[in-house]
Amino acid sequence: MESWRRNPLTFWVFALPPSLWLAVFFLAPLALVWMMSFGEKVGLIDIVISWRPDNYLRAMDPLYLQIFLKSFWFAGLTTAVCLVMGFLVAVAITFAPPRRRPLLLLLVMLPFWTNLLIRTYALIAVFRTKGLVNFGLEQMWEWSQSVLQGVGLGDLGLLGPEFEPLQLLYNNFAVVAGLVYVHLPFMVLPLYAALDRMDRSFIEASLDLGAGHIRTFFSVVIPLAMPGIVSGIIITFVPALGSFLTPDLLGGTDSQMIANVIERQFKSANDWPFGAALSFILMYVTFIAIALRSLWAGRARRGSAA
Amino acid sequence: MSRRAPPGPLDYGRRLWLRFSLWATFLFLYAPILMLVAFSFNDSRRNIVWRGFTLKYYEKAWNNDSLIEAFTNSLTIALVSTVASVILGMMTAVLLWRFRFPGKAPYEGAMSLPIIIPEICMGVAMMAFFARIGWPANLPWPLNLGAITIAHISFSFPFVAMVVRARLARFNPELEEAARDLGASQWQSFRDVLLPYMRPGLVAGGLLAFTLSLDDFVITFFTSGPETVTFPVKVYSMIRFSVTPEVNAASTVLIAITLFLTTIALWLQNRAQSS
pLDDT value of position B12:
67
Q: Does the CB of B116 have a partner CB in chain A at under 8 Å?
A: yes
Residue A258 falls inside a structural domain: yes
Q: Does A220 fall in a domain? A: yes
Q: Which residues 57-76 on chain B approach chain A with CB closer than 8 angstroms?
A: none
pLDDT of residue B7: 57
Cross-chain Cβ contact B46/A85 below 8 Å: no
Distances A186 to A103, A233, B47, B123, B261 between C-alpha atoms, Å:
17, 9, 34, 22, 21
Domain count, chain A: 1
- Does B269 have pLDDT greater than 80? no
> Do the domain assignments include residue A64?
yes
Question: Which pLDDT value is given to residue B1?
Answer: 42
The whole-angstrom distance between A277's CA and the closest CA on chain B is: 10
Residue of A7, A113, A129, A204 to mutate, interface with B, max B Cβ within 10 Å: A113
Would you say how long chain A is, in residues?
306
Query: Contact A30/A38 with Cβ under 8 angstroms?
Result: no
B55-93: per-residue pLDDT in tens? 888 998 888 898 999 999 999 999 999 999 999 999 999
Task: Please state, in angstroms and rounded to a whole number, the distance separating the CA atoms of residues A248 and B119.
Answer: 14
Closest chain A C-alpha to B31 CA, distance in angstroms: 8
Residue A306 is predicted with a pLDDT of 46
Give the C-alpha distances (Å, rounded to integers) separating A287 from A87, A126, A174, B14: 26, 35, 28, 41
Exposed/middle/buried for residue A253 (C-beta within 10 Å: 0-12, 13-18, 19+):
exposed
Stretch B20-42: mean pLDDT: 90
Q: Which residues of B touch A239 (CB under 8 A)?
A: 118
Measuring CA to CA, how many Å separate A216 from each of A93, A207, B205?
A: 19, 7, 42
Question: What integer is the mean pLDDT of B100-124?
Answer: 94
pLDDT digits 0-9 by tens, B172-214: 888 888 998 898 888 888 899 999 999 988 998 999 899 999 9
Residues in A closer than 8 angstroms to B36, CB to CB, are 118, 121-122, 125
- CA A250 – CA B5 distance, rounded (Å): 47
**Residue from the list B121, B239, B266 with its beta carbon closest to the beta carbon of A249:** B239
Residue A167 lies inside a defined structural domain of this protein? no
B3 shares contact with chain A (CB less than 8 Å):
no
Task: Kindly report the CATH number assigned to the domain that includes residue A287.
Answer: 1.10.3720.10
Write out pLDDT tens, residues B124-174. 999 999 998 988 878 888 888 999 999 999 999 999 999 999 989 888 888
- Beta partners for residue A39, in sequence order: A49
Which residue among A106, A130, A262 sits closest to B124, beta carbon to beta carbon? A262
Q: Which of B36, B83, B121 to mutate to test the interface with A (most CBs of A within 10 A)?
A: B121
Output B8 or A288, whichever has higher pLDDT: A288
A19 to chain B, closest Cα gap in Å: 8
Does residue A270 lie within any of the structural domains?
yes
pLDDT at B256 over 50: yes
Does some domain include residue A126? Answer: no
DSSP letters spanning chain A: -EEGGGSHHHHHHHHHHHHHHHIIIIIHHHHHHHHHTTEEEETTTEEEE---THHHHHHTSHHHHHHHHHHHHHHHHHHHHHHHHHHHHHHHHHTS-TTTHHHHHHHHHGGGGS-HHHHHHHHHHHHSTTSHHHHHHHHHHHHHHHHHHHTT-GGG-TT-SS------SSSHHHHHHHHHHHHHHHHHHHHHHHHHHS-HHHHHHHHHTT--HHHHIIIIIHHHTHHHHHHHHHHHHHHHHT--HHHHHH--TT---HHHHHHHHHTTS--HHHHHHHHHHHHHHHHHHHHHHHHHHHHHHHHHH-
Whether chain B has a CB inside 8 Å of the CB on A11: the answer is yes
- pLDDT attached to residue A41: 85
A26 within domain boundaries: no
**How would you write chain B as a 3-class SS string?**
CCCCCCCCCCCHHHCHHHHHHHHHHHHHHHHHHHHHHHHCCECCCCCCCCCCECCHHHHHHHHCHHHHHHHHHHHHHHHHHHHHHHHHHHHHHHHHHHEECCCHHHHHHHHHHHHHCCHHHHHHHHHHHHHHCCCCCCCCCCHHHHHHHHHHHHHHHHHHHHHHHHHHCCCCHHHHHHHHHCCCCHHHHHHHHHHHHHHHHHHHHHHHHHHHHHHCCHHHHHHCCCCCCCHHHHHHHHHHHCCCHHHHHHHHHHHHHHHHHHHHHHHHHHHHHHC
Q: For chain A of 306 residues, list the mean pLDDT of each consecutive stretch of 10.
A: 85 95 97 94 80 90 93 96 94 88 88 87 85 83 83 69 80 94 92 89 87 87 90 92 94 91 92 95 93 83 63
Give the pLDDT of residue A191. 94
pLDDT at B2: 44
Domains of chain B: 12-56 (no CATH), 58-274 (1.10.3720.10)
Within an 8 Å CB–CB cutoff, is residue A245 touching chain B? yes
Residue B5 scores a pLDDT above 60: no
Taking CB atoms and an 8 Å limit, are A22 and B125 in contact across chains? no
Residue A155 belongs to a domain: no
Nearest chain A Cα distance for residue B228, angstroms: 17
**Phi, psi of A2, deg, nearest 5:** -115, 160
The residue segments making up the domain with residue A207 are 54-106+184-305
CB contact under 8 A, A1 and B113: no
- ipTM of predicted assembly, 2 dp: 0.89
